[in-house]
Amino acid sequence: MSHIPYGNRKISFEIKRGNRKKTVAIHISPNAFVTVLAPQYLDEEKIRMIVQKRAHWIIERQEQIKKNRNSNSIKQFVSGESFPYLGRYYRLKVMKSTTDSEEKCRLVSGRFLVEVNGKANILSNKSAVKKVLLGWYLEHAEEKIKDRISRFAQLIGKWPASIKIKNQERRWGSCSRSGIIRLNWKVIMAPISVMDYVIVHEFCHLIYPHHSPQFWQKVRSIIPDYKKRRDWLKEFSLQIDGLD
């Protein structure tokens, strides 16, 4: 294990050498562990210099992972908790209504504002907040996903038999042999750029059903930096316990 100093901190990293010809890649795992992929010939001192140049970026990514990990803990659906939307986290504020009006959720001034029946008990409020917030997500997922789909379908030149926005526990999207595309509603929590990658990925399966070189070439022709967006999905889990 190697390490470099950065301010009053220390960045530890593992070096893995392979068949890379020139470039060095820095990978940060979901648990914030740093791995440097380097060519066989590159000496450790040069690798340390490269890591030193990227130190600020590494620290930022590790802090983001820590923030996401804390935000993704089991939710109580109470004021002060954070929930992601389009790659950003917004704090929840629960307000009790003085009337028996229908519960509602709004995103206002950087906060999720959820209004619930003020006469209900704590457990009922928690259930109501969860239901209303989930409903807000589903509504906006439909809207945003369909908007992005209309942008890319024309570029790809294919339309699916149907599009279904589902709660898929371990998959962001899928494309059946019959041309039905299913997208996980939780992709609405990711940045727009990542959502676009998921959509384009599944639409390209309408042409190439497998992950062949031709498939990835098609994806690249529409999203040149698709690997960066794919890595985002690998490094960060947007599954929120208690929202299923």
pTM above 0.85, yes or no: no
Is the pLDDT at 68 greater than 80, yes or no?
no
Q: For residues 165 and 199, what is the distance between their CA atoms, to the nearest angstrom?
A: 11
For the chain, the structural domain boundaries read 2-71, 82-139, 142-235
Angle at 62 (CA atoms; ends 56, 66), nearest 5 degrees: 145
pLDDT recorded at residue 244: 41
Q: For residues 145 and 166, what is the distance between their CA atoms, to the nearest angstrom?
A: 12
pLDDT recorded at residue 239: 40
Is the pLDDT at 243 greater than 60, yes or no?
no
* Mean pLDDT of all residues in 99-128: 77
pLDDT recorded at residue 24: 87
CATH of domain 142-235: 3.30.2010.10
Q: Which residues pair with 14 in a beta bridge?
A: 35
Enumerate residues 6+ apart whose C-beta is below 8 A from 228.
none
Is the pLDDT at 235 greater than 50, yes or no?
yes
- The token duo for 202 is 């599944």
pLDDT recorded at residue 118: 65
**Contacts from 164-167 at CB under 8 Å and sequence distance 24+?**
165/138, 165/141, 167/244
Give tens-digit pLDDT for 152-180: 888 888 889 999 998 876 688 899 999 99
pLDDT recorded at residue 104: 86
When mean pLDDT is compared across 64-68, 69-73, 133-137, 228-232, the lowest value belongs to 69-73
List, in sequence order, every beta strand (DSSP E) within 109-202: 111-117, 162-166, 173-175, 180-184
What average pLDDT does the structure give for the chain?
84
DSSP state of 135: H
* Mean pLDDT of all residues in 111-118: 85
